[in-house]
Amino acid sequence: MKQMNNNISNPFSFGHKHNHVFVKFGVCFLLLGLSYRLFFSTSIDSSPVVDTDTAFVAEDTLSPPVGNPPIPGDLPVNESQTYHNEKCDIFTGEWVPDPTGPFYTNNSCHSIEDHQNCMRNGRPDSGYIYWRWKPRECELPKFNPGRFLDFMRDKSIAFIGDSISRNQVQSLVCTLSEVEKAVEVYHDEEYRSKRWSFPSHNFSVSVIWTPFLIKAAVFEDNNGVSSGTIQLHLDQLDEVWTEQYKNFDYAVLAGGKWYLKTAIYYENTTMVGCHNCEKNITELGFEYAYRKALQLVFNFVTHSNHKVHILFRTSTPDHFENGEWNTGGYCNQTVPFKEGEVDISDVDRVMRDIELEEFENAEAIGSEKGSTFKLFDTTHLSLLRPDGHPGVYRMFQPYAGKDKSAKVQNDCLHWCLPGPIDSWNDLIMEMMLN
């Protein structure tokens, strides 16, 4: 059995190994301000969307996709296997071959962020786009953009979180655009938060960049170089999303890996501790902050007067092998894992356990105001896709003018577009329409 980051046996038991893993992560994150930012921050900030049709006209040798693309909005629907899955756990299953392939290509969609545009960047294999998620006990219909748009008429959805949320929103916008072209109606200064409109359906899709979900002071310049330790206010939400919350009918919320960063924690404006800081401050561990933050988030959504259908997405695993971000870690597999071939990393397991516990607590309290909660549990199915990351193809033609053995930074966290994250939309559709 393969375990991602398998050099750590059980770092979350108490004892010195415990510290070891945090120090290891911390040092990594400290040293890697710049590359780290490429993963979690916004790599598109300084390079506004370009029209890739004209930006890259070079021919290359990649083979065209095989199979016939489905006709958008007009998929054959087998009613007997569609949206009748009440008892089925849609998150337990396997990846099965899917010759129909993705809805969109790097040529048809202009919303794909450069660092995730694997085909354009020269990734040579294309097998990774011909798989779909198949729950063990039922069928999961493929996403149907026409049906989704009709369902969402006069409504709005927001993806609230870090760059993985943006990764998914791009997949959704690209897929829907095959039926109705998305119109970008808003972006913030750094292109981290955006809103698209689908005018003929009076439907809007937002992505809100708030990597901690709570109030944070992040001291990074535009190049991701950090000039100070992150300050997190564990008792205050980030207003960038709470102020807009009343505008949404659906929200896909997610926390995540930013909590592994070195940070000083405040409660009621008083410093209460930190994670990984070198100063003489009590080490509370990221678990403490992450749990507090999720409690605050769930408390807000359960008590809000505005009714929203919430999907809470669990941690997304990375697939760095034989190293980490900048210590030569890479991901060059070309097929999914089968069940039992991989084990979740310890850090990802800890994060997900906190998520499940706090979600269940919130669910038990329930919503007083009629909002609904669902767990969008993508962790395990994503763990089975080591083949879906950009790897070295986060850069355009990474080996151009270089030896094939040249050291190139890998991205084994975000997902290629098109790629496995497109299947997350199948799940969202099932959860929303069921």
Positions 316 through 375 that interact with ligand NAG (CB under 6 A): 330, 332
Considering only the stretches 50-58, 207-215, 347-355, 392-400, report the one whose residues sit in contact with ligand NAG under the rule CB under 6 A.
Answer: 50-58
The number of beta carbons lying within 10 Å of the beta carbon of residue 298 is 21
- What letter does residue 322 receive in the DSSP assignment? S
Given 62, 66, 225, 365, the residue binding ligand NAG (CB under 6 A): 62
Given 23, 53, 67, 283, the residue binding ligand NAG (CB under 6 A): 53
Task: Tell me the residue type at 136.
Answer: R
Query: Which residue has the CB atom at the shortest distance from ligand NAG?
Result: 120
Reading the block at residue 261, the tokens are: 């960063």
Comparing CB distances to ligand NAG, the nearer of 119 and 297 is: 119
**Interatomic CA distance for residues 30 and 278, integer angstroms:** 11
279 to 318: interface string for ligand NAG, x by CB under 6 A: -x--------------------------------------
**CA-wise closest residue to 368 among 308, 293, 304:** 304
Comparing CB distances to ligand NAG, the nearer of 106 and 111 is: 106
Given 23, 60, 67, 183, the residue binding ligand NAG (CB under 6 A): 60
Count of residues binding ligand NAG (CB under 6 A)? 20
Comparing CB distances to ligand NAG, the nearer of 366 and 370 is: 370
Say whether residue 154 binds ligand NAG (CB under 6 A): yes
Q: How far is the CB of 12 from ligand NAG (least distance, A)?
A: 26
121 to 140: interface string for ligand NAG, x by CB under 6 A: ------------------x-
**Interatomic CA distance for residues 126 and 118, integer angstroms:** 9
Helices (H), 122-162: 145-151
Q: How far is the CB of 119 from ligand NAG (least distance, A)?
A: 4
**Interatomic CA distance for residues 172 and 167, integer angstroms:** 9
Comparing CB distances to ligand NAG, the nearer of 202 and 372 is: 202
Considering only the stretches 53-61, 292-300, 303-311, 358-366, report the one whose residues sit in contact with ligand NAG under the rule CB under 6 A.
Answer: 53-61
Question: Can the peptide bond before residue 418 be classed as cis, meaning omega within 30 degrees of 0?
Answer: yes
Please say whether the beta carbons of 105 and 65 come within 8 A: yes
**Interatomic CA distance for residues 194 and 220, integer angstroms:** 21
Q: Which residues sit opposite 391 in a β-bridge?
A: 411
Q: Which residues sit opposite 342 in a β-bridge?
A: 2
Q: What share of the chain is helix, strand, coil (3-state, %, to 5)?
A: 30, 20, 50
Residue 233, SS3 per DSSP: strand
Comparing CB distances to ligand NAG, the nearer of 1 and 58 is: 58
259 to 278: interface string for ligand NAG, x by CB under 6 A: ---------x----------
Q: Can you list the positions of beta strands (E) in 210-332? A: 214-217, 230-237, 250-254, 263-267, 270-275, 309-313
Given 7, 46, 47, 81, the residue binding ligand NAG (CB under 6 A): 81
Given 37, 115, 120, 142, the residue binding ligand NAG (CB under 6 A): 120
Q: Which residues sit opposite 375 in a β-bridge?
A: 312
Pairing of strands 230-237, 263-267: parallel
Considering only the stretches 56-64, 160-168, 182-190, 216-224, report the one whose residues sit in contact with ligand NAG under the rule CB under 6 A.
Answer: 56-64
Q: CA Rg, the chain, in Å?
A: 21
Say whether residue 215 binds ligand NAG (CB under 6 A): no
**Interatomic CA distance for residues 74 and 84, integer angstroms:** 20
Considering only the stretches 24-32, 49-57, 308-316, 370-378, report the one whose residues sit in contact with ligand NAG under the rule CB under 6 A.
Answer: 49-57
Q: Which residues are catalytic?
A: 163, 411, 414
Reading the block at residue 188, the tokens are: 């913030």
Estimate to the nearest angstrom the gap between the alpha carbon of 178 and the chain centroid: 22
Comparing CB distances to ligand NAG, the nearer of 65 and 73 is: 65
Residues at the interface with ligand NAG (CB under 6 A): 52-53, 56, 60, 62, 78, 80-81, 106-107, 119-120, 139, 154-155, 202, 268, 280, 330, 332
